[in-house]
Each structure stands twice: as C-alpha cells, then as structure tokens.
Amino acid sequence: LVCVVSYGVILPKSFLKIPPLGCINVHPSMLPKYRGPAPIQRAILNGDKETGVSIMYLDAGMDSGDVILQEKVEIGDDETTGELWNRLSGIGARLLTKVVKNIEDISICNLTSKDVVRHPLVQRIVKAYEEYESKNDTKGDRFKDKRRK
C-alpha cells in the first residue's frame, strides 16, 4: 500500500500497478469538488460554507480515483485557510488511519465518519504538531480572507 497526502503529481500507471493493495491519497475537499491544487484556498475564496476530507484510490487522473471514505465539515465564518488546513489535517490523519487499518476489508465504505480510530502514531503526530504550533504561534493569519456572506 502506498499513501500520499496532497501530493499534487500524477503518478505513472506503471507505478500505480506495483503495490498489491493499491495507492491512496488524502485530499482536503469533498471530491469531486475542487479536484487538483489548492482545494482549501479555493473553498475559502469561494465563500463555501462546508468542505471536507476525502480518502481516495489514485488512478491515472488528477484526484479522479474512487473515493473510499469522506468526512464533511462546516467552515467557520471567519476561519482562515491556515486554521482550516490545521483542522482538515487532523481529520485526514484520522480517516487515513481508519482506511489503512481496514484496507483489505471491502466494507470500509460502510464505516461512518464518526468512527474514531485512536492509533498511537496518529496521536503522537497530532501532539507533536500541537506543540510545534504553540511554540511558533502558527494561526494562519497571513492567509485570512474576507468571506462572502
């Protein structure tokens, strides 16, 4: 199994055929909306009220593979791109963990987005990022956009 996160490059078909369990991607939008680059920025700039995270199989196209799992979230009226990125990153990590743990089970599509997998590795990553964020005061303010009401 190969996992990528917002990779932005179309992998060759010859590579996609190698992993026995396929290749999957974490994409910060409710695919098929905002396929391709900058989905978080486009959601903010377009004044969307909701977005989400999709876990999908990679194929020969740009973010065009089969969606395995999605979770939808509301976008706050004053939420910045940086803040939304931080929130979607945590959701993406949680969903990716769930998919990886269940990749051989065809019923993965029947799991609800409310099921939470508390994998120790994910918890360590989230904790390390929160520590980094608190030390560096990274709140995403430089990306703040005025939202259309």
Question: Which residues are marked as active site?
Answer: 25, 27, 54, 63
Spatial CA neighbour of 107 closest among 145, 71, 69, 59:
69
Residues 88, 79: Cα–Cα separation, whole Å: 12
Task: Give the dihedral sign, CA 110/10/74/115.
Answer: positive
C-alpha distance from residue 103 to each of 57, 106, 111 (Å): 11, 7, 12
Cis geometry, peptide bond prior to residue 20 (ω within 30 degrees of 0): no
Question: In this structure, are residues 87 and 76 in contact, taking their beta carbons and an 8 Å threshold?
Answer: no
